[in-house]
Amino acid sequence: MATEPILEEAAGQCVNAHGGAIGMPQLCAEWIPNQVFWLVVTLVVMFLILSRIALPRIGAILAERKGTITNDLAAAEELKHKAVAAEKAFNDALATARTEAGKIVAAAKADIQKDLDAATARADAEIAVKTAESEKRLAEIRAGTMDAVEAVARDTAGALVAALGGSADQAVVDAAVANRLKG
Protein backbone atom coordinates (compact mmCIF):
# COMPACT_ATOMS: atom_id res chain seq x y z
CA MET A 1 0.00 0.00 0.00
CA ALA A 2 2.93 2.28 0.66
CA THR A 3 5.50 2.00 -2.09
CA GLU A 4 3.44 2.12 -5.23
CA PRO A 5 1.33 5.18 -4.29
CA ILE A 6 4.43 7.22 -3.42
CA LEU A 7 5.37 7.01 -7.08
CA GLU A 8 1.93 8.27 -7.94
CA GLU A 9 2.34 11.09 -5.41
CA ALA A 10 5.55 12.09 -7.10
CA ALA A 11 3.54 12.24 -10.26
CA GLY A 12 1.20 14.73 -8.64
CA GLN A 13 -1.41 12.35 -7.31
CA CYS A 14 -2.30 12.43 -3.60
CA VAL A 15 -5.43 10.29 -3.70
CA ASN A 16 -5.73 6.72 -4.95
CA ALA A 17 -8.51 5.35 -7.09
CA HIS A 18 -10.68 4.59 -4.04
CA GLY A 19 -10.46 8.16 -2.74
CA GLY A 20 -8.05 7.12 0.01
CA ALA A 21 -4.99 9.11 1.01
CA ILE A 22 -1.61 8.17 -0.38
CA GLY A 23 1.11 8.78 2.17
CA MET A 24 0.67 11.90 4.26
CA PRO A 25 -1.86 14.34 2.82
CA GLN A 26 0.09 17.01 4.71
CA LEU A 27 2.95 16.58 2.25
CA CYS A 28 0.84 16.78 -0.89
CA ALA A 29 2.26 19.75 -2.77
CA GLU A 30 -0.77 19.84 -5.04
CA TRP A 31 -3.00 21.15 -2.24
CA ILE A 32 -0.66 23.68 -0.70
CA PRO A 33 -1.56 26.71 -2.89
CA ASN A 34 -5.23 26.15 -2.14
CA GLN A 35 -4.64 25.96 1.62
CA VAL A 36 -2.33 28.97 1.65
CA PHE A 37 -4.75 31.06 -0.40
CA TRP A 38 -7.76 30.34 1.79
CA LEU A 39 -5.68 30.71 4.95
CA VAL A 40 -4.55 34.17 3.89
CA VAL A 41 -8.13 35.13 3.03
CA THR A 42 -9.34 33.82 6.39
CA LEU A 43 -6.61 35.58 8.35
CA VAL A 44 -7.22 38.88 6.59
CA VAL A 45 -10.97 38.63 7.22
CA MET A 46 -10.41 37.68 10.86
CA PHE A 47 -7.89 40.46 11.32
CA LEU A 48 -10.31 43.00 9.87
CA ILE A 49 -13.20 41.73 12.00
CA LEU A 50 -11.10 41.78 15.14
CA SER A 51 -9.13 44.99 14.64
CA ARG A 52 -11.91 47.08 13.11
CA ILE A 53 -14.99 45.93 15.02
CA ALA A 54 -14.55 43.44 17.82
CA LEU A 55 -11.46 44.51 19.73
CA PRO A 56 -12.21 48.28 19.85
CA ARG A 57 -15.76 47.45 20.91
CA ILE A 58 -14.69 45.08 23.68
CA GLY A 59 -12.00 47.51 24.76
CA ALA A 60 -14.61 50.26 24.98
CA ILE A 61 -16.97 48.00 26.93
CA LEU A 62 -14.23 47.10 29.40
CA ALA A 63 -13.17 50.75 29.76
CA GLU A 64 -16.77 51.81 30.27
CA ARG A 65 -17.28 49.12 32.88
CA LYS A 66 -14.11 50.18 34.64
CA GLY A 67 -15.29 53.79 34.56
CA THR A 68 -18.68 52.82 35.92
CA ILE A 69 -17.11 50.82 38.71
CA THR A 70 -14.72 53.67 39.54
CA ASN A 71 -17.59 56.16 39.58
CA ASP A 72 -19.73 53.92 41.73
CA LEU A 73 -16.87 53.41 44.14
CA ALA A 74 -16.26 57.16 44.28
CA ALA A 75 -19.96 57.78 44.89
CA ALA A 76 -19.95 55.15 47.63
CA GLU A 77 -16.86 56.76 49.16
CA GLU A 78 -18.58 60.15 49.06
CA LEU A 79 -21.70 58.77 50.69
CA LYS A 80 -19.54 57.15 53.33
CA HIS A 81 -17.89 60.50 54.03
CA LYS A 82 -21.33 62.08 54.27
CA ALA A 83 -22.45 59.41 56.69
CA VAL A 84 -19.34 59.95 58.81
CA ALA A 85 -19.93 63.72 58.76
CA ALA A 86 -23.56 63.24 59.74
CA GLU A 87 -22.51 60.98 62.59
CA LYS A 88 -19.98 63.57 63.72
CA ALA A 89 -22.60 66.32 63.58
CA PHE A 90 -24.95 64.16 65.60
CA ASN A 91 -22.26 63.43 68.18
CA ASP A 92 -21.35 67.13 68.37
CA ALA A 93 -25.00 68.05 68.87
CA LEU A 94 -25.27 65.39 71.55
CA ALA A 95 -22.18 66.70 73.34
CA THR A 96 -23.48 70.31 73.15
CA ALA A 97 -26.84 69.20 74.52
CA ARG A 98 -25.10 67.37 77.35
CA THR A 99 -23.07 70.47 78.21
CA GLU A 100 -26.21 72.63 78.11
CA ALA A 101 -28.06 70.19 80.32
CA GLY A 102 -25.16 70.20 82.78
CA LYS A 103 -25.20 73.98 82.89
CA ILE A 104 -28.95 74.04 83.47
CA VAL A 105 -28.64 71.47 86.24
CA ALA A 106 -25.86 73.48 87.89
CA ALA A 107 -27.90 76.70 87.67
CA ALA A 108 -30.93 74.96 89.13
CA LYS A 109 -28.80 73.54 91.92
CA ALA A 110 -27.40 77.00 92.69
CA ASP A 111 -30.93 78.48 92.79
CA ILE A 112 -32.18 75.75 95.04
CA GLN A 113 -29.16 76.17 97.30
CA LYS A 114 -29.84 79.91 97.54
CA ASP A 115 -33.49 79.33 98.40
CA LEU A 116 -32.48 76.67 100.85
CA ASP A 117 -29.92 78.94 102.48
CA ALA A 118 -32.48 81.73 102.79
CA ALA A 119 -35.06 79.37 104.22
CA THR A 120 -32.52 77.95 106.63
CA ALA A 121 -31.49 81.42 107.79
CA ARG A 122 -35.12 82.40 108.26
CA ALA A 123 -35.82 79.25 110.19
CA ASP A 124 -32.71 79.77 112.33
CA ALA A 125 -33.82 83.29 113.14
CA GLU A 126 -37.30 82.08 114.07
CA ILE A 127 -35.83 79.33 116.18
CA ALA A 128 -33.56 81.82 117.95
CA VAL A 129 -36.52 84.11 118.71
CA LYS A 130 -38.59 81.18 119.95
CA THR A 131 -35.67 79.95 122.06
CA ALA A 132 -35.23 83.34 123.61
CA GLU A 133 -38.94 83.56 124.37
CA SER A 134 -38.97 80.11 125.85
CA GLU A 135 -35.96 80.84 128.00
CA LYS A 136 -37.55 84.03 129.21
CA ARG A 137 -40.75 82.22 130.11
CA LEU A 138 -38.76 79.43 131.71
CA ALA A 139 -36.93 82.01 133.81
CA GLU A 140 -40.22 83.57 134.75
CA ILE A 141 -41.65 80.21 135.65
CA ARG A 142 -38.54 79.41 137.68
CA ALA A 143 -38.68 82.73 139.45
CA GLY A 144 -42.39 82.21 140.15
CA THR A 145 -41.67 78.79 141.49
CA MET A 146 -38.98 80.10 143.80
CA ASP A 147 -41.34 82.76 145.10
CA ALA A 148 -44.04 80.16 145.69
CA VAL A 149 -41.58 77.88 147.45
CA GLU A 150 -40.45 80.77 149.65
CA ALA A 151 -44.04 81.68 150.49
CA VAL A 152 -44.92 78.08 151.31
CA ALA A 153 -41.76 77.75 153.39
CA ARG A 154 -42.56 80.90 155.30
CA ASP A 155 -46.10 79.80 155.93
CA THR A 156 -45.05 76.32 156.88
CA ALA A 157 -42.33 77.64 159.12
CA GLY A 158 -44.79 80.03 160.81
CA ALA A 159 -47.33 77.23 161.24
CA LEU A 160 -44.70 74.91 162.65
CA VAL A 161 -43.54 77.46 165.07
CA ALA A 162 -47.14 78.03 166.14
CA ALA A 163 -47.82 74.33 166.37
CA LEU A 164 -44.78 73.80 168.53
CA GLY A 165 -46.23 76.32 170.87
CA GLY A 166 -43.94 79.19 170.06
CA SER A 167 -45.19 82.48 169.06
CA ALA A 168 -42.74 83.87 166.72
CA ASP A 169 -42.73 87.16 165.06
CA GLN A 170 -43.55 86.73 161.41
CA ALA A 171 -40.65 88.98 160.34
CA VAL A 172 -38.16 86.85 162.29
CA VAL A 173 -39.52 83.70 160.70
CA ASP A 174 -39.27 85.23 157.25
CA ALA A 175 -35.72 86.26 157.80
CA ALA A 176 -34.83 82.81 159.06
CA VAL A 177 -36.45 81.14 156.03
CA ALA A 178 -34.74 83.53 153.63
CA ASN A 179 -31.49 82.80 155.38
CA ARG A 180 -32.01 79.10 155.01
CA LEU A 181 -33.00 79.33 151.33
CA LYS A 182 -29.91 81.26 150.48
CA GLY A 183 -27.72 78.79 152.27
Partner 1 sequence: MATGTEEHVVEGAEHAGGLAIHPMDQFIVKPLFGDGPVEWYTVTNVTLWMAISVVVLLGLFVLATSRRGIIPSRLQSVAELFYGFIYNMVEDVTGHEGAKFFPYVMTLFMFIFLANILGLIPMSFTTTSHVAVTAVLALAVFLTVTLVGFYRKGLGFLSMFWVSSAPLILRPVLALIEVISYFVRPLSHSIRLGGNLMAGHAVIKVFAGFAGAMGIASVVPIAAIAAIYGLELLVAAVQAYVFTILTCVYLRDAVGEAHH
List interacting residues with partner 1 (CB under 8 A).
1, 14-15, 19-21, 23-28, 30-43, 45-47, 49-51, 53-55, 57-62, 64-65, 68
Q: Which is nearer to partner 1, 48 or 132 (CB)?
A: 48
CA torsion, ordered 133, 137, 143, 144, to nearest 10 deg: 160
Contacts of 159 (CB under 8 A, 6+ apart): none
Q: On the CB side of 115, how many CA atoms lie within 13 Å of its CA?
A: 6
Q: Which is nearer to partner 1, 8 or 174 (CB)?
A: 8
Q: How far is the CB of 54 from partner 1 (least distance, A)?
A: 4
CA 93 vs CA 30, 89, 105, 126: distances in Å: 92, 6, 18, 49
Q: Which is nearer to partner 1, 23 or 153 (CB)?
A: 23
Residue type, 73: L
Q: How far is the CB of 43 from partner 1 (least distance, A)?
A: 6
State the DSSP code for 24: -
Q: How far is the CB of 8 from partner 1 (least distance, A)?
A: 14
Question: In the beta sheet, which residues pair with residue 21?
Answer: 15
Q: What angle do CA 44, 50, 52 make, to 5 degrees?
A: 90
Residue type, 58: I
Q: How far is the CB of 17 from partner 1 (least distance, A)?
A: 13
Q: Which is nearer to partner 1, 38 or 90 (CB)?
A: 38
Q: How far is the CB of 95 from partner 1 (least distance, A)?
A: 45
Q: Which is nearer to partner 1, 59 or 144 (CB)?
A: 59
